[in-house]
Structure 1
Amino acid sequence: MAGTDAWLILNAAGLSVMRQNLLLDVFGEAETILGCSDAQLLAVEGITAHHLARLRNACESFDVEAAQAAMQAAGVHLCSRGSAGYPRLLADTDGAPPVLFVQGSLTADDAQAVAVVGTRKCTAYGRQVARRLSSELSRRGFCIVSGLAEGIDAEAHLGAIESGGRTIAVMASGPDITFPGSHRGLREQIAGSGAVVTEYPFGSPPLRERFPERNRVISGLSLGTVVVEAPARSGALITARLAGEQGRGVFAVPGPVDSPASRGCHALIKDGAQLVEVAEDIVEGLGIMLDAVPVRVQRDRPVAELSGEERTIVEALSFEPKHVDAIVGATGIALPAVNAALMLLEMKGLVRRFPGNSYVKIS
């Protein structure tokens, strides 16, 4: 039996990751496990007749050829525990997935990674900070890891992509299911500039219990986890807890003191997470010195390059969306001139337009 075939069968047998790893610790390879006698398998502590039956049933009924065809059609390859391409940081964690289905590519440089996570229902402030931090970290050579979800995750991936950096998305579904479906385009962008990975076989839906499992992979792939925005109950807090248990860095971005969307971050900071205002806080917290010189981005453009009206408008904006009518009221500049200036400021990368003709400042 070919090595990849054996890994596919082991993955499809329905054994927990813990029990798969028990067997791998004893026998080393999936192919060896499947070739063992019943007595050899049952001699492993924690393996029962029930688990043996699952393995034997998978050997007899799993359609390996169909799985291989599905992988080829989806542009997905399998990366197994112990192989040269398996992420080193993830391999060092307890409960590392025996296999990863990978769309795109994983490289050795991805070991210099930071997870950027947070709530799906984020504020404009959270969106801006997530994209800015991810962009700045990417320009310093970090791979950005997140979960392909709406909100903070999406902004983290986009920040890396827009900066020409690498990003990895970890899914809680099989390789053939993109969740949310609206992120199919984003997924393809990520695969083109990094990788989309999952431990779940084809056909696996994004069940609720799979998201905490997915989160351990996000933190396990990363040197540290940054929670940008999270309410008191958020999956991002699980990722932060797992990062701490894995011996990785835990960081959190503070928000407005009265913002429910930041209560989880404030709790993390109270519990000892490192407070983050800029990317350098993360770099220093990880104790990593980079040789690469950060690239200046457009928001560092000297104020002198702005016209008087542009400068006035930028000063009137904040990280919360402000409608164009409110900008007119705050600046006293006529609406046509405000619209023209906002268009130029957006082209310069200094403001961002939101639905409803509202704008925020990009710090």
Structure 2
Amino acid sequence: MHMDDMDELRAWLIALRTPGLGPGGLRERLDAAGRNIEKVVGRLRRHPGSLGEPAQAWLTRPDEALLASDLAWLAEPNHRLLRCTEEDFPPQLEHIPQPPAALFAVGDASLLLYPQVAIVGARGASASGLAHARAFARALAQAGFAITSGLADGIDGAAHAAALDAGAATLAVIGTGPDRVYPRKHHALARRIAECGVVVSEFPPGTAARADHFPRRNRIIAGLALGTLVIEAGLRSGSLITARLAVEQGREVFALPGSIHNPLAHGCHRLIRDGARLVESAAEIIETLAPAARMLGGELAVRLHRGLDTGAARQPAVESIAGGSSDQTDDREDSPQRRVLRELGHEPATLDELARRTGHSTAVLSSTLLMLELDARIESLPGNRYQRLPDAR
């Protein structure tokens, strides 16, 4: 790693670990410093303001062993600190309450840009609830959506596993450091997600599970997804927090009805009374979200392929998530869609093979492939492969 890059990463880690600063305070200072993190840290050291003695002590003499451990973690393959100043930071998160300033990622960070559906629900889910989670995750994944959840026991774990079994992408947003797994029983599942999807956290390495971390995690789950599906939730379930946050962020909320005698159906019934969409099949979710997914994919393809200014490209993408619709199919000869169709030919190809053939990044390809799939010009196959449909032009 270049020395300048190492210095910048070190400054980010110092800022992210500064007690009392938080993502809002860090972003405010970034804007004031021309989005230069080293200037932010320098100004904090000179003028810590009202951050308090723990912040002053940390900024004056940071724990060098801890920073070295963080940098060693980031040096591992497929580990990344995705910063809000970078072009591929997910625009979906820019207008949520207290957007994260950075995310620690294990796996394919480009999946954060992919159109997603969140599936959440009870930890102590029933057998039928788990079966519903698997069926909806599989169907939504086959339709081209990435499945996002929180790696919790019950519904979350079932949705992640079903997406992986279908050969599709899944994202786990966790409430611990990226090097920790909670609950412990999901160690093997977390490894699978890191290999075939991405595990993300706003908490630095070594952060243990704490009760107040999980509502913070939920705002990111809701913010990344085009819509949130709740499958079984009690009246005091954390899944209702995720659903409320999704509504506040202008996203769709879907709820699965259940028996009036099942306590885990009461939370879903409350959501439905409060305006969530009652759904009985994945097709209803796909139909509702397809226009927003197409527009988000189009905006991201333009932004990533042409290198547009970050701020200029973010706003339309966020508007599209909130419910806009647009036909983003681009049939120009030099468009990413036409290039992918030409290179796909008549034999299935993996995402990596298409990246080599087209020269496009994984993020551009992901959004392009989703748009082609929504237009019924290609289909996704197990193993992250894609097949051109016979009538596709």
Q: State the TM-score, normalizing by the size of structure 1.
A: 0.75
Q: 2:163 aligns with which of 154, 160, 163?
A: 160
2:209 aligns with: 206
1:22–1:295 distance in 2 versus 1, CA, 3 Å: closer
2:29 aligns with: 23
1:13–1:91 distance in 2 versus 1, CA, 3 Å: same
Question: Aligned partner of 1:10: which letter?
Answer: A
Report the Cα offset of residue 84 of structure 1: 2.1
Q: How many residues align?
A: 293
1:66–1:276 distance in 2 versus 1, CA, 3 Å: same
Q: 2:12·2:37 contact (CA, 8 Å) conserved in 1?
A: yes
1:256–1:80 distance in 2 versus 1, CA, 3 Å: same
2:310 aligns with: none
2:375 aligns with: 291
Report the Cα offset of residue 37 of structure 1: 6.4
2:326 aligns with: none
Q: Secondary structure at the match of 1:173?
A: coil
Report the Cα offset of residue 52 of structure 1: 5.6
1:232 aligns with: 235
1:233–1:41 distance in 2 versus 1, CA, 3 Å: same
**CA offset digits 1:290-328 (Å, max 9, x no partner):** 22477799xxxxxxxxxxxxxxxxxxxxxxxxxxxxxxx
Instruction: Provide the C-alpha distance between the structure 2 equivalents of 1:153 and 1:37, rounded to a whole number of angstroms.
Output: 39
Report the Cα offset of residue 18 of structure 1: 2.4
Question: Aligned partner of 2:30: which letter?
Answer: L
1:36 aligns with: 43
Q: 1:278 aligns with which of 258, 281, 285?
A: 281
Instruction: Provide the C-alpha distance between the structure 1 equivalents of 2:71 and 2:81, rounded to a whole number of angstroms.
Output: 10
1:171–1:48 distance in 2 versus 1, CA, 3 Å: closer
Report the Cα offset of residue 204 of structure 1: 0.8
**CA offset digits 1:224-272 (Å, max 9, x no partner):** 1110110111000000001111111111111112110111000000000
Mapping of residues 30-109 of structure 1, within 5 Å: 30-36=37-43, 42=49, 47-48=50-51, 50=53, 53=56, 56-57=59-60, 59=62, 61=64, 63-73=66-76, 75-107=78-110
Question: Aligned partner of 2:174: which letter?
Answer: M
Segments of 5+ residues of structure 2 without an aligned counterpart are 295-373, 383-393
Aligned residues: percent identity?
Answer: 38
Q: Secondary structure at the match of 2:43?
A: coil
1:190–1:140 distance in 2 versus 1, CA, 3 Å: same
1:185–1:135 distance in 2 versus 1, CA, 3 Å: same
Q: 1:219·1:225 contact (CA, 8 Å) conserved in 2?
A: yes
**CA offset digits 1:62-109 (Å, max 9, x no partner):** 642221113335852111112123112123323111111100012267
Q: Secondary structure at the match of 2:88?
A: coil
Segments of 5+ residues of structure 1 without an aligned counterpart are 298-363
| 1:3 aligned onto 2:8 | yes
Q: 1:13·1:57 contact (CA, 8 Å) conserved in 2?
A: no
Q: 2:14·2:59 contact (CA, 8 Å) conserved in 1?
A: no
Instruction: Provide the C-alpha distance between the structure 2 equivalents of 1:34 and 1:224, rounded to a whole number of angstroms.
Output: 37
Mapping of residues 214-363 of structure 1, within 5 Å: 214-288=217-291, 290-292=374-376
Q: 1:146·1:169 contact (CA, 8 Å) conserved in 2?
A: yes
Q: Secondary structure at the match of 1:207?
A: coil
Mapping of residues 165-184 of structure 1, within 5 Å: 165-184=168-187
Instruction: Provide the C-alpha distance between the structure 1 equivalents of 2:210 and 2:119, rounded to a whole number of angstroms.
Output: 22
Q: 1:87·1:106 contact (CA, 8 Å) conserved in 2?
A: no
Report the Cα offset of residue 48 of structure 1: 4.4
Instruction: Provide the C-alpha distance between the structure 1 equivalents of 2:204 and 2:77, rounded to a whole number of angstroms.
Output: 13
Report the Cα offset of residue 186 of structure 1: 0.5
Instruction: Provide the C-alpha distance between the structure 2 equivalents of 1:74 and 1:180, rounded to a whole number of angstroms.
Output: 24
- RMSD between aligned alpha carbons? 2.4
Q: Secondary structure at the match of 1:121?
A: coil
Instruction: Provide the C-alpha distance between the structure 2 equivalents of 1:266 and 1:217, rounded to a whole number of angstroms.
Output: 24
Q: 1:228·1:253 contact (CA, 8 Å) conserved in 2?
A: yes
Instruction: Provide the C-alpha distance between the structure 2 equivalents of 1:221 and 1:84, rounded to a whole number of angstroms.
Output: 16
Q: 2:16·2:22 contact (CA, 8 Å) conserved in 1?
A: no
Q: State the TM-score, normalizing by the size of structure 2.
A: 0.69
| Larger CA deviation: 238-247 vs 107-116 | 107-116
Structure whose CA Rg is larger:
1
Q: Secondary structure at the match of 2:141?
A: helix
